[in-house]
Amino acid sequence: MLEHFNKHEHQFVLKVSDWVNQVYYSHKIKTTKFLTLREQEIVQMLVNQNSEVRVSFEGGFQKAERKRAILYPDYLKLNNLSQYVKGYEIEYNQKLVTLKHPQILGSLTALNIDRSLIGDIVILSNGRIYLAICEEFSEFFLQHFHKVGKHSILIKESSISQFEKIDQEDEFEIIISSMRLDVIVASLMKVSRSQVHEYIMQAGVQVNWVIEQNHSRICQIGDVLSIKRHGRFRLKVLKSRTKSERFVIIVGKTV
């Protein structure tokens, strides 16, 4: 089974296999924390191998990216999946400050909060901010999350199911000699390719939510690169080729 997965995914694959067995033998529901898109894919793949176990996913928002998996015996019918996710609005003084996703997530992780307890963070065009939290974590969240950076905030429980998760991106251009992963990451990080090679080998880069350690991989337009401590980048458009045949790429960085 493990041979079909990246070696960095093996531990998670074994964990999911254990979840499936728990549900199969105990006939009880198993809920996970929030999962990435790739983790959701792995859960679905392994559940599909057992005809007596089913899985549903819930992230609170419409088109949520991060979702909880709810595994259950096939004879059960699940109602009200939203009970597993709590939605909150972050209220703050929009006249004095503009809050962004990295600031909010950084303030949460500074409280030693496990990232997997937090779902998507959605910032609307009007500046209002909503986020999804594991239901069982909500009490701790309300007691301890009072500031983003140095800015005071108020937390209010809110229905989030009407909001759609849409990534906001800052666009910019890069000019690169090839579509190799190391060339692109070096341009995005503004470091040398030799430094990038080490970073890639240390599992610091994901392509389409999967850790990629082949630095010579050829990337495609539409690929999403997640670079640890640097953010998420989407290769949006091949704008043109220069006279020297270099690629001019429009990149969107998630904000």
User: pLDDT in tens for each of the 255 residues of the chain?
Assistant: 777 888 889 999 999 999 999 999 999 999 999 999 999 999 999 999 999 999 999 999 988 999 999 999 999 998 888 899 999 999 999 999 999 888 999 999 899 999 999 999 999 888 999 999 999 999 999 999 999 999 999 999 999 988 887 777 889 999 999 999 999 999 999 999 989 999 999 999 999 999 999 999 999 999 999 999 898 999 999 999 999 999 999 999 987
Neighbours of 129 (CB within 10 A): 20
Nearest residue to 44 (alpha-carbon basis) of 28, 57, 26, 29 = 57
Q: For residue 229, what pLDDT is reported?
A: 85
Q: For residue 79, what pLDDT is reported?
A: 85
Buried b (16+ CB within 10 A) or exposed e, 60-74: bbeebbbbbbbbbee
d(CA 233, CA 106): 18
| Both structure tokens of 29 | 């529901």
Reduced to 3 states, what is the DSSP secondary structure of residue 77? coil
User: Helix (H) and strand (E) counts for the chain?
Assistant: 6, 15
Strands (DSSP E) found in the chain: 30-35, 53-58, 67-73, 85-91, 118-123, 129-134, 147-148, 151-152, 154-157, 169-176, 205-207, 210-211, 224-227, 231-241, 247-254
Return all residues near 165 (Cβ < 8 A) that are at least 6 apart: 59, 61, 62, 63, 64, 65, 120, 122
Q: For residue 208, what pLDDT is reported?
A: 93
Residue 46 backbone dihedrals phi, psi, to 5 degrees: -75, -35
Are the beta carbons of 94 and 55 closer than 8 angstroms? no
Are the beta carbons of 130 and 88 closer than 8 angstroms? yes
Q: For residue 167, what pLDDT is reported?
A: 74
d(CA 74, CA 52): 5
Q: For residue 116, what pLDDT is reported?
A: 95
Q: Which domains does the chain have, with CATH numbers?
A: 2-79 (3.30.1370.160), 84-157 (3.30.70.330), 169-254 (3.10.290.10)
